[in-house]
Amino acid sequence: MRGKVAEIRGLGAELVVVGNGRPDQAADFRRQENLDFPLLVDPEMSAYRAAGLKRGITDALSLGTLRHAVRAYRQGFRQSSVQGDPWQLGGTMVITPENKVLFRHVNRDAGDHPDPKDILDVLKGSARSS
Among 61, 66, 70, 101, binds another protein (CB under 8 A): 101
Diameter over CA atoms, the chain = 51
User: Of residues 106-125, which lie at the interface with another protein (CB under 8 A)?
Assistant: 110, 119, 123
Tell me which amino acid residue 20 is: N
**Residue 62 CB, nearest approach to another protein (Å):** 17
- Looking from the CA of 32 toward its CB, the CA atoms found within 13 Å total 6
Nearest CB to another protein, comparing residues 70 and 101: 101
* Cross-strand partners of 88: 55
Q: Name the DSSP class of 86.
A: -
Among 3, 6, 34, 97, binds another protein (CB under 8 A): 97
The reply to whether 85 sits near another protein by the rule CB under 8 A is no
Q: Which of residues 16-55 bind another protein (CB under 8 A)?
A: 16-21, 23-30, 38-43, 46-48, 50-53
Give residues with Cβ within 8 angstroms of 126, minimum separation 6: 11, 13, 94, 96, 102
Q: Is 57 in the site for another protein (CB under 8 A)?
A: no
For 44-65, give one letter per residue: b (16+ CB within 10 A) or e: eeeebeebebbbebbebeeeee
Q: Which residues bind another protein (CB under 8 A)?
A: 1, 8, 12-21, 23-30, 38-43, 46-48, 50-53, 58, 88-97, 99-102, 104, 110, 119, 123, 126
